[in-house]
């Protein structure tokens, strides 16, 4: 049975080894990414160590920021973004305070999101606002799984993060066929290497199972492509520009979101 205290030293050691490998590579882009992870990993591990309140607080912050980035990409007005953020945060809080009622929270959030363009009488952009809002609600409400999954979610975070870096490096080095027209820079070689690296991390953390394996092999790449589709529609390269070397927060959690969804569906 994995636990946060047992994962913490392993994640710290992996971060240190990654820093050494990054320094030896001499690549500035990898160094910038490692610096971001050096700040993020202690915060994430600390939140999970605190337990359900800490993980819930982390999910609330991440959800609110992700909604703002998603709203900017899809052109949602400020009112729509505020209601969507409240709906996502409501689902996250429900998973902590009233577990078992998450579906009701999502349904209530969907009604609130739909009410905004309806009450505004938006005949021109109403359908687009409704569709984008509902997609954002379903997609980002998966953050509510962080607290119930606990240490498994932390292991997934580590595996998906390592898999993303491995896919990025291997895809550039090996080349080969493109993964999808949605993301021309991504290659099958990188995706397969990233999946292998993520499985290795899960095995090392004693978190490898059928649901987690499917999550990193299928869910993570699918999440990456889903965000690529949204960015393609917005003609944007990144979800934002405030996170050094990574664009925005949504760019960092896109793979994790559908990985979490896969674990929820298969567990």
Domain shared by 21 and 39, yes or no: yes
End of a domain among 149, 174, 207? Answer: 149
Same domain, residue pair 168 and 124: no
* Environment class of 251 (CB within 10 Å of its CB; exposed 0-12, middle 13-18, buried 19+): buried
Beta bridge partners of 243: 247
* Number of domains into which the chain is organized: 2
Whether residue 164 sits in one domain with residue 39: yes
- At residue 165, the pLDDT reads 83
For residue 229, give the 3-state DSSP assignment: helix
Which residues span the domain enclosing 14?
1-51+150-267
Among 111, 132, 149, identify where a domain stops.
149
Q: Give the pLDDT of residue 8.
A: 83
From 102, 130, 149, the end of a domain falls on 149
Are the CB atoms for 127 and 226 separated by under 8 Å? no
Looking at residue 245, what is its pLDDT?
63
145 and 155 co-located in one domain: no
CA-based nearest residue to 86, from 118, 56, 64, 59: 64
- The pLDDT of residue 159: 92
Same domain, 69 and 9: no
Whether residue 132 is found in the same domain as residue 232: no
Return per-residue pLDDT of the chain as tens, 267 residues: 678 888 888 888 877 877 787 777 777 777 877 777 788 888 999 999 999 999 999 999 999 999 999 999 999 999 999 999 999 999 999 999 999 999 999 999 999 999 999 999 999 999 999 999 999 999 999 999 999 999 999 999 999 988 888 888 888 888 888 888 888 788 889 999 999 999 999 998 999 999 999 999 999 999 999 999 999 888 888 888 877 666 889 998 999 999 999 999 998
Same domain, 180 and 139: no
Q: Does 266 lie in the same domain as 179?
A: yes
Same domain for 164 and 44: yes
Per the DSSP assignment, residues forming a β-bridge with 247 are 243
Secondary structure (DSSP) of 9-60: HHHHHHHHHHHHHHHHHT-HHHHHHHHHHHHHHHHHHHHHHH-HHHHHHHHH
Distance CA 220, CA 239 (A): 17
pLDDT at residue number 222: 94
pLDDT of residue 1: 65
Nearest to 220 by CA among 172, 258, 248, 173: 258
Please name which of 267, 58, 82 lies closest in space to residue 157, comparing C-alpha atoms: 58
6, 107: one domain: no
Within this chain, do residues 138 and 109 fall inside the same structural domain, yes or no? yes
| Cα distances (Å, whole numbers) of residue 233 to 187, 226, 227 | 21, 11, 10
Same domain for 103 and 169, yes or no, is: no
User: According to the model, what pLDDT value does residue 3 have?
Assistant: 85
Rounded Cα–Cα distance for residues 153 and 73 (Å): 27
Assign 209 to helix, strand or coil: coil
């Amino acid at each position: 049975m994995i636990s946060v205290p047992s994962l913490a030293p392993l994640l710290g050691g992996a971060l240190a080894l990654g820093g050494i490998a990054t320094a030896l590579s001499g690549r500035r882009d990898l160094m910038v990414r490692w610096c971001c992870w050096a700040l993020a990993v202690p915060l994430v591990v600390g939140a999970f160590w605190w337990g359900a309140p800490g993980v819930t607080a982390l999910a609330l912050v991440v959800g609110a920021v992700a909604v703002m980035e998603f709203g900017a990409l899809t052109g949602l007005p400020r009112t729509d973004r505020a209601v969507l953020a409240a709906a996502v945060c409501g689902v996250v809080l429900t998973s902590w305070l009233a577990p078992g009622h998450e579906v009701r929270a999502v349904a209530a959030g969907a009604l609130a999101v739909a009410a905004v363009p309806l009450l505004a009488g938006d005949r021109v952009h109403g359908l687009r606002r409704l569709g984008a809002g509902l997609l954002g609600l379903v997609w980002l409400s998966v953050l509510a799984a962080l607290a119930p999954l606990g240490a498994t979610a932390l292991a997934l975070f580590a595996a998906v993060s390592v898999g993303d870096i491995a896919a990025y490096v291997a895809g550039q080095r090996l080349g080969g066929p493109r993964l999808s027209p949605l993301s021309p820079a991504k290659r099958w070689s990188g995706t397969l290497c990233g999946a292998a690296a993520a499985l290795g991390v899960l095995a090392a953390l004693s978190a490898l199972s059928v649901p987690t394996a499917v999550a990193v092999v299928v869910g993570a790449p699918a999440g990456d492509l889903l965000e690529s589709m949204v960015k393609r529609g917005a003609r944007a390269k990144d979800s934002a520009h405030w996170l050094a070397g990574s664009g925005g927060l949504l760019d960092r959690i896109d793979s994790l979101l559908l990985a979490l969804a896969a674990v929820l569906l298969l567990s």
